[in-house]
Copies of this chain bind each other. A is one copy, B any other.
């Protein structure tokens, strides 16, 4: 098995990134320029795709490009940077859990609002049952 290889188009399809974005990431140093075929076409290995997949997840969880670049650089430097990479990822994991917590707080608020709306919609089909506490009609429920 010659360890399947992919063109940029195939890589794009498989990672969900656009061809543009792949080249852009490369230019930004998110990964070393991949092998080229004669004629200059990029050849992506399965390893490359795995790396790209990791990148998309890091991006999706809000890691900025410079941080990913840094991580990529460490990877390229070999095993002796393991501790640094470990630290970087731990830091990012915290960032992720923070985001999840924040989203839960938002979710709670939105759910509360929704519950209020549902109560109103249920009890008084169309009537503005809410007492006239808002002469300006400014804050009917927000």
Give chain A's interface residues, CB within 8 Å of chain B. Answer: 32, 47, 50-51, 54, 57-58, 60-61, 75-76, 78-80, 82-83, 85-86, 89-90, 92-93, 96-97, 99-100, 102-107, 109-111, 113-114, 117-118, 120-121, 126, 128, 130, 137-142
How distant is A32 from chain B, measured CB to nearest CB, in Å?
7
Copies of this protein, total: 2
Name A's interface SS. helix
The distance in angstroms between the C-alpha atoms of A101 and B54, with both chains bound, is 17
28 interchain pairs, CB-CB under 8 A: A50-B142, A57-B105, A57-B106, A57-B109, A58-B110, A60-B103, A60-B106, A61-B102, A61-B106, A78-B128, A78-B140, A79-B141, A82-B140, A82-B141, A83-B121, A86-B117, A86-B118, A86-B121, A89-B113, A89-B117, A90-B114, A93-B107, A93-B110, A93-B111, A96-B106, A96-B110, A100-B103, A103-B103
